């Protein structure tokens, strides 16, 4: 099944993300407006030399950023994993079981495969750390060829691509965990995660190709979307300050902040799930009928301490492992 088909068949998840992020954007902009009003009052009271407004804006950004992290870790994460579960089922069978909505089926899969969203989140973060270390090792290996003319530029480009793609690789490995659980494999999630990372390292060529297209798409979308939001907001700020030119720069700065928040919201709501689907689809096709290489597994044990942790956890008894994961997730 193509990536486009997977996207069109999972529209309910995209709409849910858009709704949740849309509500967040509205709340964030209202909060920003209130803080700007307070900042404007401080500006009037203390004058141009006051640092109060700058401090207030830093606090505002911190609160908005913190709110976004909380939303993604404790509200949207189960939506993301549920979405991946549905994508895996569509790749495997072309449909989801009849009589179940996508959202309900995705939530059910999270509970069946991980027990709780906390467990899935902890596994995800462990995979993310292992893949990051492996990618750094790959780049260090590339540095050994620095004597080749132009190789540093190539390594720099590859590093940029891998850094962005890292945000989506762990979801691809999570899709492998879900696939193994759906196949009723007698292995815990850590063993599946460990094998999934090895298979990722084996399939880097196809994944890097998809990641390259994704990086270009993400940057192009970000630039275009920011301009779409920034230009009218800047125009509005200019109209509001026609009778008070001294405040033009101030309102222009606020317009840019608003454009950034809206652009970030659109990226998280729409682009991230689209890229995730593309990466999961490429990963699943690349590892089809592949088995994890024992030699590569042993090599990764020596270059990544976090991968070694994954491997050690995969050998723990299931009850002890669950207790430890839940405790570390709290």
SS3 1: coil
* Contact by Cβ (8 Å): 221, 254: no
Q: Does the pLDDT at position 291 exceed 70?
A: yes
Could you tell me which of 308, 326, 314 has the C-alpha nearest to residue 129? 308
Amino acid 246: pLDDT: 64
Torsion of CA 278, 279, 281, 284, to 10 degrees: 180
* Contact by Cβ (8 Å): 258, 32: yes
The mean pLDDT of the chain is 81
Amino acid 202: pLDDT: 86
Amino acid 330: pLDDT: 30
In eight-state DSSP terms, residue 116 is S
Q: Does the pLDDT at position 48 exceed 60?
A: no
Q: Does the pLDDT at position 37 exceed 70?
A: yes
Mean pLDDT of the 26-33 span: 86
In eight-state DSSP terms, residue 269 is I
Mean pLDDT of the 167-187 span: 84
- Give the global pTM: 0.80
Domain positions in the chain: 3-315+322-326
Amino acid 150: pLDDT: 66
C-alpha–C-alpha distance, residues 323 and 313, integer Å = 12
Amino acid 321: pLDDT: 42
Could you tell me which of 273, 219, 295 has the C-alpha nearest to residue 84? 273
Q: In what helix (H) or strand (E) does residue 94 lie, and over which residues does it extend?
A: none
SS (H, E, C) 133-186: HHHHHHHHHHHCCCCCCCHHHHHHHHHHHHHHHHHHHHHHHHHHHHHHHHCCCC
**Percent of the chain residues topping a pLDDT of 70:** 86
CB atoms within 10 A of CB 97: 9
Could you tell me which of 15, 13, 26, 100 has the C-alpha nearest to residue 67? 26
Amino acid 142: pLDDT: 61
CA distances from 95 to 85, 147, 264 (A): 12, 52, 32
């Amino acid at each position: 099944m193509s990536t486009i088909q997977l996207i069109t068949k999972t529209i309910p998840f995209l709409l849910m993300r858009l709704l949740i992020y849309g509500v967040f954007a509205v709340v964030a902009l209202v909060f920003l407006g209130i803080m700007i009003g307070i900042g404007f009052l401080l500006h009037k009271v203390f004058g141009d030399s006051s640092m109060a407004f700058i401090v207030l804006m830093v606090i505002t950004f911190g609160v908005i950023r913190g709110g976004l992290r909380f939303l993604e870790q404790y509200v949207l994460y189960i939506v993301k994993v549920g979405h991946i579960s549905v994508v895996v089922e569509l790749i495997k069978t072309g449909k989801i079981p009849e009589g179940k909505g996508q959202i309900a089926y995705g939530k059910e899969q999270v509970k069946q495969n991980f027990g709780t969203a906390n467990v899935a989140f902890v596994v995800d973060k462990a995979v993310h750390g292992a893949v990051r270390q492996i990618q750094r090792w790959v780049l260090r290996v590339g540095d050994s060829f620095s004597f080749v003319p132009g190789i540093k530029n190539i390594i720099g480009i590859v590093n940029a691509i891998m850094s962005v793609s890292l945000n989506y690789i762990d979801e691809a490995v999570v899709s492998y965990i879900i696939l193994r659980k759906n196949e009723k494999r007698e292995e815990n999630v850590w063993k599946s995660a460990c094998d999934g990372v090895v298979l990722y390292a084996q399939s880097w060529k196809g994944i890097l190709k998809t990641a390259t297209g994704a990086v270009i798409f993400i940057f192009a979308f970000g630039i275009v979307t920011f301009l779409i939001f920034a230009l009218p907001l800047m125009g509005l700020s200019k109209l509001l300050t026609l009778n008070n030119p001294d405040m033009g720069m101030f309102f222009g700065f606020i317009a840019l902040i608003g454009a950034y928040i809206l652009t970030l919201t659109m990226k998280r709501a729409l682009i991230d799930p689209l890229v995730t689907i593309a990466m999961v689809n490429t990963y699943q096709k690349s590892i089809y009928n592949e088995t994890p290489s024992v030699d590569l597994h042993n090599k990764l044990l020596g270059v990544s301490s976090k991968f070694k942790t994954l491997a050690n956890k995969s050998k723990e008894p299931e009850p002890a492992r669950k207790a430890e994961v839940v405790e570390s997730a709290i």
